[in-house]
């Protein structure tokens, strides 16, 4: 009788096993279990010349412990069904050690196969299928003549390696040809060093909340340190769910190297772009990433006739990130037909925020994608699901060296919809989008007070505050004393606040008039204007003039009054009910009030990083080619009063990366309901001061808060490109170009 196909396959499997020295009985027993567990799915059993079967038999042999006691074969030997075959493509190109006949049996065979098995599990992100009897010492350092292959710490093995992040050491290096003589070198060289706990250099502040990622670009010639290699698996953690082969055009170098470029995204929202070299040439060295970028840029400039002088591959990378964001938002729009109200704990829409930062040294870069990882994946899910199971992301392994660019999401919620200020303000400030699927604004770090970025000279010292600049002998509330204290010197011997904490009418009127009708007010002209210098350092134009602004001077720590003194309004922070909301009409996110505000009410400060003018220039021009809208505000209220302002004294506030709710206030030409007023307290020196928003009129509940950025929409030479104004004001300067006026360079 002709054996059934199933029987024929079983016979072949057993024959293969006896052929390499296993007993017929054991092979049959284990095979039976495998067939059962894998539900007759022979594909797994037959793969790589029955590698799974061979490994299971080896484990079975070991499970007959050193004490001679046999453990239950079904429980301990047969591995669980594999969840995903992440490296199938690569494995296909690598002959199985069994197939090559490189190993016979015995200890070295067992060891190498185990290594391979563990290594495969690493790449798949599964816990390595260590048998319970495997001794920690076996894996603590598995090495042979070729050097260290894999190291685990004992604790991890004992806990059956549940979590890769608990791993303290996994070091990989190439398996030498002595060990795997016929394995083609498959260079999958990581260009990146990924650490989810590092903050990009150049970014200061609360570092552990930021949880951004540093991506370094080591020279391939330097190679990766083992430490570098340690981190990659924990990030990918095996749940790569989606992979797109962007291009699979093997470009032949010296006839023996081909490359693959893949994009993969994981269930946790990571996006990984990887460039894989496949070479059978033993001397092949992966090139340095910067050189690759340079060549690609040159080629693009030539072949694609790209004209922008600031074209760079990094910008293209940023574009890719931006497209991912747009696509995610688009795809969500399609799936959500109705507008949804975002509730604090509600499940939101897919959104991926991207941001790039460059360190001042330029040696490292970070591409950070932020958002709701699960949802990000959802946005891609429907169409490509099956592809992803088949084509999985190549992962670094002992015989693979990988080069990759990775976009890593921050873990956990980034912005809290119930309080975007993260508890940093006296009041909660909620966030809502009733119009689009965008759940959060682009990433920024909330700070309630200004913070120096790097070089700005901001010196707060009690010694620098003279007796004439504080009210040492006051007590309680200065506003209640019959004679105005020394702190009113700046404002002509009068407090500018009413007993209700509002700006007095006369003071407010003058501030408004100054900004709305600048030509009627006094200007000063710098000898060496920092703005003009930042445009052209060697041949700066003459200063266009700066308004001499009116300052509010609040009492402070050196004063004798209490913290609740009526002359301390801005420094006590936000007291009104505000909300960040998605504004209709194309202006993006904005700020509105949830309570009625009287005229002259303090709303919030404009908080950001304190930068020197040069730093601002570097940030906006050198790093982004001027294409990005940042949020800089010049602190030029007193620039003209000093000849030869030093760079570290010509300051501005940039709320792009760090800021408070002030960064959401949109622009309105001429008749905005907020006005920015310079306020000093910690220093009498006007290089640095606070910018506080006060209402110019009564503002209704839910009304959007706006201020006039002072943009000259006609000044096309300004380094920071203006946007197309959608303020809707009758006096919009962008629409009535002839009426456009120049105030401070904009956006201010
Ligand atoms: C300080 S931010 C305001 C918050 C911003 N809307 C957001 O979504 O983050 C300034 C940016 O908002 C947009 N914007 C503000 N006012 C606008 C207006 N009147 N018309 C069009 N866009 C505006 C511009 O993109 C500008 O660069």
Task: Say how many C-beta atoms besides its own lie within 10 A of residue 288's C-beta.
Answer: 17
Residue 708 CA to residue 725 CA, distance in Å, equals: 11
Alpha carbon of 344 to those of 269, 351, 439, 444, 650: distances in Å?
21, 16, 11, 19, 41
Residue 410 CA to residue 430 CA, distance in Å, equals: 21
In which region does residue 442 sit, left (phi positive, over 0), alpha (psi from -120 to 50) or beta (all else)? beta
Report the pLDDT value the prediction gives residue 491, as an integer from 0 to 100.
93
Please tell me the distance between residue 545's alpha carbon and the centre of ligand 1 in angstroms.
26
Q: Catalytic pick from 187, 606, 688, 689?
A: 606
Which residue has the CA at smallest separation from atom 1 of ligand 1?
A: 663
Please tell me the distance between residue 633's alpha carbon and the centre of ligand 1 in angstroms.
14
Model pTM score:
0.51
Q: At what angle do helices 289-303 and 313-335 cross, to 10 degrees?
A: 80
Number of C-alpha atoms within 13 angstroms, CB side, residue 33?
21
Residue 468 CA to residue 472 CA, distance in Å, equals: 9
Superfamily of domain 445-739: SET domain (2.170.270.10)
The string of DSSP codes covering 475-544 is: -S-GGGSSS--GGGGGGTTS-SB-TTSPBPHHHHHHHHHHHHSGGGS-EE--SS-HHHHHH-SSSPPPP-
Please tell me the distance between residue 659's alpha carbon and the centre of ligand 1 in angstroms.
15
Q: Catalytic pick from 44, 277, 689, 709?
A: 709
Closest atom of ligand 1 to CA, residue 722: 27
Consecutive 10-residue runs of the chain (748 residues): their mean pLDDT? Answer: 82 90 89 85 84 84 53 44 32 34 35 36 35 32 29 30 29 29 33 30 31 29 28 33 42 52 59 63 68 70 56 68 60 43 28 28 28 30 34 36 42 73 96 91 92 92 90 95 93 96 97 88 80 76 84 96 97 98 92 98 97 85 56 81 75 93 95 97 92 98 96 74 87 64 38
Per-position b or e across 37-62, b if 16+ CB within 10 A of its CB: bbeeebebbbbbbbbbbbbbbbbbeb
Asked if ipTM goes beyond 0.90, one says yes
Which residue has the CA at smallest separation from atom 22 of ligand 1?
A: 587
Closest atom of ligand 1 to CA, residue 655: 1
Report the pLDDT value the prediction gives residue 330, as an integer from 0 to 100.
59
Please tell me the distance between residue 628's alpha carbon and the centre of ligand 1 in angstroms.
12
SS3 127: coil
Please tell me the distance between residue 588's alpha carbon and the centre of ligand 1 in angstroms.
6
398, 151 Cβ separation under 8 angstroms: no
Which residue has the CA at smallest separation from atom 23 of ligand 1?
A: 587
Report the pLDDT value the prediction gives residue 33, as an integer from 0 to 100.
87
SS3 360: coil
The DSSP secondary-structure symbol of 618 reads I
Q: Which two tokens stand for residue 576?
A: 């009104």
Cβ within 8 Å of residue 715, ≥6 positions away = 722, 742, 745, 746
∠ CA 464-465-466 to the nearest 5 degrees?
A: 105
- Answer whether 725 contacts ligand 1 (Cβ < 6 A): yes
Cβ within 8 Å of residue 283, ≥6 positions away = none
- Answer whether 441 contacts ligand 1 (Cβ < 6 A): yes
* 438, 588, 657, best to mutate for ligand 1 pocket (most atoms within 8 Å of CB): 588
Residue 693 CA to residue 710 CA, distance in Å, equals: 14
Report the pLDDT value the prediction gives residue 358, as an integer from 0 to 100.
27
Please tell me the distance between residue 295's alpha carbon and the centre of ligand 1 in angstroms.
37
- Answer whether 748 contacts ligand 1 (Cβ < 6 A): no
* 436, 663, 667, 713, best to mutate for ligand 1 pocket (most atoms within 8 Å of CB): 667
- Answer whether 666 contacts ligand 1 (Cβ < 6 A): yes
Q: If you count them, how many residues does the chain have?
A: 748
Closest atom of ligand 1 to CA, residue 442: 9
Please tell me the distance between residue 719's alpha carbon and the centre of ligand 1 in angstroms.
17
- Answer whether 507 contacts ligand 1 (Cβ < 6 A): no
State the residue for tokens 């570098």: 228
Instruction: Give the DSSP H/E element, type plus range, for residue 364.
Output: strand 364-371
Please confirm, yes or no, whether 38 is among the known catalytic residues.
no
- Answer whether 444 contacts ligand 1 (Cβ < 6 A): no
Which residue has the CA at smallest separation from atom 7 of ligand 1?
A: 589
Residue 42 CA to residue 10 CA, distance in Å, equals: 9
Domain coordinates in residue numbering, the chain: 184-412, 445-739
Please tell me the distance between residue 724's alpha carbon and the centre of ligand 1 in angstroms.
9
- Three-state SS letters, 56-101: HHHHHHHHECCCCCECCHHHHCCCCCCCCCCCHHHHHCCCCHHHHC
Report the pLDDT value the prediction gives residue 38, as an integer from 0 to 100.
83
Q: Which two tokens stand for residue 447?
A: 């700070």
Please tell me the distance between residue 587's alpha carbon and the centre of ligand 1 in angstroms.
5
- Answer whether 746 contacts ligand 1 (Cβ < 6 A): no
The DSSP secondary-structure symbol of 37 reads H
Sign of CA dihedral 700, 703, 704, 710: negative
- Answer whether 699 contacts ligand 1 (Cβ < 6 A): no
Q: Which two tokens stand for residue 721?
A: 């490109």
Please tell me the distance between residue 172's alpha carbon and the centre of ligand 1 in angstroms.
49
Report the pLDDT value the prediction gives residue 215, as an integer from 0 to 100.
30
State the residue for tokens 């791993």: 167
Residue 490 CA to residue 301 CA, distance in Å, equals: 57
* 415, 579, 723, best to mutate for ligand 1 pocket (most atoms within 8 Å of CB): 723
Which residue has the CA at smallest separation from atom 13 of ligand 1?
A: 587
Please confirm, yes or no, whether 152 is among the known catalytic residues.
no
Residue 560 CA to residue 378 CA, distance in Å, equals: 59
Alpha carbon of 329 to those of 279, 378, 431: distances in Å?
39, 11, 18
Burial of 442 (0-12, 13-18, 19+ CB in 10 A): middle
- Answer whether 727 contacts ligand 1 (Cβ < 6 A): yes
Which candidate, 717, 618, 606, 707, places its Cα nearest to that of 662? 606
Residue 398 CA to residue 401 CA, distance in Å, equals: 7
Alpha carbon of 682 to those of 46, 461, 470: distances in Å?
76, 8, 10
∠ CA 302-305-309 to the nearest 5 degrees?
A: 90
- Answer whether 587 contacts ligand 1 (Cβ < 6 A): yes
- Pairing between strand 674-680 and 364-371? unpaired
């Amino acid at each position: 009788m002709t054996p059934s196909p199933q029987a024929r396959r079983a016979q072949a499997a057993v024959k293969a096993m006896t052929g390499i020295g296993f007993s017929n009985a054991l092979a049959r027993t284990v095979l039976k279990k495998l067939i059962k567990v894998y539900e007759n799915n022979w594909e797994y059993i037959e793969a790589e010349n029955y590698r799974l079967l061979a490994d299971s038999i080896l484990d079975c042999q070991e499970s007959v412990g050193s004490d001679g006691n046999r453990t239950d074969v079904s429980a301990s030997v047969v591995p669980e069904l594999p969840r995903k075959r992440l490296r199938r493509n690569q494995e296909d190109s690598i002959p199985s050690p069994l197939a090559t006949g490189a190993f016979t049996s015995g200890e070295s065979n067992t060891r190498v196969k185990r290594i391979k098995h563990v290594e495969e599990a690493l790449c798949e992100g599964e816990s390595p299928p260590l048998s319970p009897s495997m001794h920690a010492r076996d894996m603590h350092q598995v090495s042979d003549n070729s050097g260290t292959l894999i190291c685990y710490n004992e604790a991890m093995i004992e806990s059956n390696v549940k979590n890769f992040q608990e791993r303290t050491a996994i070091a990989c290096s190439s398996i030498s040809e002595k060990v795997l003589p016929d394995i083609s070198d498959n260079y999958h060289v990581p260009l990146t060093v990924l650490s989810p706990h590092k903050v990009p250099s150049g970014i200061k502040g609360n570092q552990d909340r930021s949880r951004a990622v540093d991506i370094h670009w080591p020279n391939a010639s330097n190679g990766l340190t083992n430490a570098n290699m340690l981190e990659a698996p924990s990030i990918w953690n095996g749940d790569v769910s989606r992979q797109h082969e962007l291009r699979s055009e093997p470009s032949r170098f010296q006839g023996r190297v081909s490359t693959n470029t893949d994009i993969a995204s994981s269930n946790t929202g990571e996006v990984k772009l990887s460039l894989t070299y496949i070479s059978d040439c033993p001397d092949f060295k992966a090139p340095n990433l910067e050189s690759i970028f340079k060549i690609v840029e040159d080629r693009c400039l030539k072949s694609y006739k790209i004209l922008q002088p600031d074209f760079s591959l990094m910008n293209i990378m940023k574009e890719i990130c931006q497209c991912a964001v747009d696509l995610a938002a688009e795809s969500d729009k399609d799936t959500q037909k109705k507008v949804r109200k975002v509730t604090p704990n509600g499940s939101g829409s897919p959104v991926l925020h991207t941001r790039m930062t460059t360190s001042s040294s330029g040696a490292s870069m970070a591409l950070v994608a932020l958002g709701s990882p699960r949802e990000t994946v959802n946005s891609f899910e429907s169409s490509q699901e099956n592809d992803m199971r088949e084509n999985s992301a190549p992962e670094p392994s002992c015989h693979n060296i990988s080069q990759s660019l990775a976009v890593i999401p921050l873990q956990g919620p980034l912005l809290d919809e119930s309080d975007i200020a993260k508890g940093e303000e006296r009041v909660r400030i909620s966030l809502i989008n009733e119009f689009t699927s965008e759940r959060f604004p682009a990433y920024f770090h909330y700070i309630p007070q200004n913070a120096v970025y790097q070089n700005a000279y901001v010196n707060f010292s009690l010694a620098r505050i003279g007796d004439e600049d504080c009210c040492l002998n006051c007590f309680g509330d200065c506003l209640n004393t019959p004679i105005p204290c020394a702190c009113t010197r700046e404002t002509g011997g009068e407090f500018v606040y009413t007993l209700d904490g509002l700006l007095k009418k006369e003071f407010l009127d003058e501030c408004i008039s100054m900004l709305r009708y600048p030509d009627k007010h006094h200007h000063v002209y710098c000898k060496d204007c920092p703005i003009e210098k930042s445009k052209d350092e060697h041949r700066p134009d003459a200063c266009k003039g700066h308004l001499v602004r009116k300052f509010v001077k609040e009492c402070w720590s050196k004063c004798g009054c209490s913290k609740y003194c009526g002359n301390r309004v801005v420094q006590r922070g936000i007291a009104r009910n505000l909300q960040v909301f998605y504004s209709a009409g194309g202006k993006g996110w904005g700020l509105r009030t949830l309570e009625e505000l009287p005229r002259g009410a303090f709303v919030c400060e404009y908080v950001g990083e304190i930068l020197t003018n040069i730093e601002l220039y570097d940030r906006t021009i050198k790093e982004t080619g001027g294409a990005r809208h940042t949020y800089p505000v010049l602190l030029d209220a007193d620039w003209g009063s000093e000849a030869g302002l030093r760079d570290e004294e010509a300051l501005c506030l940039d709320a792009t990366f760090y800021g408070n709710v002030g960064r959401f206030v949109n622009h309105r030409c001429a008749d905005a309901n907020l006005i920015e007023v310079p306020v000093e307290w910690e220093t009498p020196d006007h290089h640095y001061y606070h910018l506080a928003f006060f209402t110019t009129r009564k503002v209704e509940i839910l009304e959007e808060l706006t201020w006039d950025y002072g943009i000259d929409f006609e000044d096309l030479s300004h380094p920071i490109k203006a946007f197309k104004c959608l303020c809707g004001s009758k006096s919009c300067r962008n629409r009535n170009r002839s009426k456009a006026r120049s105030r401070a360079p904009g956006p201010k």
